[in-house]
A and B are shown apart, each in its own frame.
Chain A
């Protein structure tokens, strides 16, 4: 054990906290030379923090990391560890050659030139003919390849791939995986972090399942399959109170029907979606599947064409974006964040705000939506993440719209707030309203949705009645089964130069 630990990357008991949130809770993990280690986990499990810690972007609060026996240093992080991002973190205004040279200039005064070794590297990665192209004009796949080449000329031997192919075409991702295998075969260490289970199953030698900031289990090559991974991701999660789950009830009154619904820039095609009063429907799909665009088009924030019955107006749909950075106002108080969407309803004829009514609305919302805050006039960022999310959702539900659309309503939220948010959504739906969610996590679908619409490559691949499943694991397995065979994402970049 010690021998292999010295040979590879060894992560021991690493802890990282952000305020009250524990991102990494004593995570330990080994990466062996010559392997592709997959990392899977739900949103907020700590995957991206793990990458940031390895790359030196954030410092862990405690724990040790060593690479080939040497303790981790900032120097090591910069030169020996390379991160290939979903969106390459390079200089888009420089050429490919300049990107390769930046930060590695041999002379203090002279403009750097490509050395023979650099040329060989560009040749090897098939980038030589693009050497003088401005990076930002090239397709994403070539930009990522430049990121790899840049790391290779620095003699990096740990490669971290962070959702690398979520915006690549099928051919481009195939070529990326070939390159990944080549890196591993040359004795380097490769870590692949992705939401895409089929790719983990196909390419990883081992997969570490990370939940709540620690490594729950490691699946060996022989045990790897999509269904197994899907089950592992939901198993053992802290169960959310079952009273949230639906009991189908009442008459089926359609509240919205979309047919031949097609996104203006091609994220989804010919979708049929029917929503019923009183139900919670989850659109399930990985990033890039078109699911996010679909729910946003329902909320009138993305352009789509097709038939929509009833057409309705934007004001009849409330929308809550996934990221709290896109749903809350940092410069406003808790109270103001709670009533901002209703503010037009509480103005006098002269355009003044009725302050008494504003206060009443805020304290009602605080009570109804179980917001825990010392005072309503506190800055919104003084609340815990879960309570901030409750404020974001409360401000939309307090409008009492017929249809509310939420993206990943419990992303990065603690377990108890999760349960409360699900209960709030359920109570809202029970009042003959419709709730439409976009989910990337199967456990969330099981916990709160009545019906799941599974979307992949911009098309619906199936619908599941969530109430007919008795455990989250089997639902997750079913969803994984539906997406099998259509694992490739929709191309976002144009084919172009290749």
Chain B
């Protein structure tokens, strides 16, 4: 383990402090931290092994692994945004529909209204931030619980999505009748996510790594991330310490919105088409990934590495069950069991850590 991933691991532990003050991590702390991340890693290895046996090694085929990584990257990018919101002590239910809305508005602006590609992408990102700001406004200015505010905005933006799309599917390869799209723009856009790097790794995975790196630095090295954790840990104490609580919550929601928009765009670019209900199936897996990764719904806890591992676990499960053609009922049931199991495991290891 490198030093930085060790620090991150401690972060996942929650009870242990952030690395900003850790000159040296004692072996005991390392052990405690490993109890959490190590457990998650072991679970992933175990699940992969089970599927490898059950699918006659099909899951280990490189092409399959790459597809798995790509699915993981979607959950991870959306999940990282959600992680920030959970850390600051709020909740966001709107990201799934926001993923669809931003990609759809981009598609409509680009393919139907004839906007240049760059402007359409900018619009999608702006919509992500704007919906985040909308959520933050109702949560911290109007003062309604973020659960309600984002539940409402989720449905609201889905309605908006249906309105602008006319409930139609859009694909750059077959623009609406009478519209033309430059082939150069189409191939550039597809390439944002679909282009293959060495070893056939899709570009989207690179985006995930880049975004995770930025989020890691913000959460573990910046003033912003430090205060985000403090506010999530104790909002009253943060107010008395004159930390601008509202402003930080505002930015956390905006970042989550932006992350959802980016994920929506990348998936659209990869898949090559967008339908109005895109993203709705992401709501549960993303929450599961983030919570399995150690983020607390009470706020103050959560980490980048944890969320990435959580996303990986869910991608493995989804992929493995699909390979076995287990049927969607099995996938849903498995997802439910794993989520509850992971949180129970966390409770157990947490009390174990406390006793140490």
Contacts and interface: CB of A to CB of B under 8 A. Distances in A.
B223 A330 contact: no
A351 interface: yes
A353 B223 contact: yes
Interface stretch (B20-28, B77-85, B276-284, B315-323): B20-28
B230 A353 contact: no
A326 B240 contact: yes
Contacts of A359: 21, 23
Contacts of B227: 340, 343
B17 A332 contact: yes
Closest 7 A-B residue pairs measured CB to CB?
A333-B17, A331-B233, A331-B300, A335-B21, A329-B233, A347-B223, A377-B17
Interface of B: 14-18, 20-23, 29, 217, 221-224, 226-227, 229-230, 232-234, 236-243, 300-301
Contacts of B229: 329, 331-332
Interface string A337-363: 000110110010011110100110010
A320 B242 contact: no
Contacts of A329: 229-230, 233-234, 237-238, 300
Nearest to A321: B240
A331 B217 CA distance: 19
A469 interface: no
A314 B243 CA distance: 11
A355 B19 CA distance: 9
A336 B241 contact: no
A438 interface: no
A248 B223 CA distance: 42
B247 to A, nearest CB: 12
A327 B240 contact: yes
A353 B242 contact: no
A320 B233 CA distance: 17
A362 B226 CA distance: 15
A315 B230 contact: no
Contacts of B239: 301
A395 interface: yes
Contacts of A268: none
Contacts of A321: 236-237, 240
Contacts of A343: 223, 226-227
A377 B234 CA distance: 18
22 contacts: A319-B240, A321-B240, A326-B236, A327-B237, A328-B237, A330-B234, A331-B14, A331-B229, A332-B229, A333-B17, A334-B17, A340-B226, A340-B243, A344-B223, A351-B222, A352-B222, A353-B223, A355-B20, A358-B20, A359-B23, A377-B16, A377-B29
A353 B221 contact: yes
Nearest to A330: B233
A390 to B, nearest CB: 16
- The residue in A331, A335, A362 that gathers the most chain B C-beta atoms within 10 A of its C-beta is A331
Given A347-B223, A351-B224, A353-B226, A332 B240 contact: no
Given A330-B300, A331-B233, A352 B21 contact: no
Contacts of A335: 17, 21
Contacts of B241: 327, 340-341, 395
B232 to A, nearest CB: 7
A181 B221 CA distance: 63
A487 interface: no
Interface residues of A, number: 36
A358 B239 CA distance: 21
A69 interface: no
B143 to A, nearest CB: 17
A376 B18 CA distance: 11
Contact of A358 (B21, B224, B232, B300): B21
Contacts, number: 102
**Of listed A330, A350, A351, A352, residue having the most chain B CB within 10 A:** A352
A379 interface: yes
A329 B217 CA distance: 22
Nearest to B14: A331
A333 B10 CA distance: 12
Given A331-B14, A332-B233, A355-B221, 16 more contacts: A325-B234, A330-B300, A331-B229, A331-B230, A332-B229, A333-B17, A334-B17, A336-B20, A340-B230, A341-B242, A343-B227, A350-B222, A355-B20, A358-B21, A379-B15, A379-B16
A320 B229 CA distance: 20
Contacts of A378: 17
A217 to B, nearest CB: 38
Interface string A292-329: 00000000010000000000001100011100011111
Nearest to B223: A347
A315 B242 contact: yes
Contacts of B16: 333, 377, 379
Contacts of B29: 377
Interface string A67-82: 0000000000000000
Interface string A168-190: 00000000000000000000000
A433 to B, nearest CB: 18
Contacts of B14: 331
B232 A355 contact: no
B20 A353 contact: yes
Contacts of B230: 329, 331-332, 336, 340
A320 B21 contact: no
B223 A301 contact: no
A242 B166 CA distance: 81
Contacts of B237: 321, 325-329
A368 to B, nearest CB: 17
A98 to B, nearest CB: 27
A423 B133 CA distance: 47
Given A330-B300, A341-B242, A379 B17 contact: yes
Contacts of A333: 16-18, 21
Nearest to A376: B21
A471 B15 CA distance: 46
Nearest to B26: A375
Contacts of B300: 329-331
A340 B161 CA distance: 42
Contacts of B23: 359
A333 B25 CA distance: 13
A413 to B, nearest CB: 18
Given A329-B233, A331-B14, A352 B240 contact: no
Contacts of A395: 241
Nearest to B29: A377
Contacts of A351: 222-224
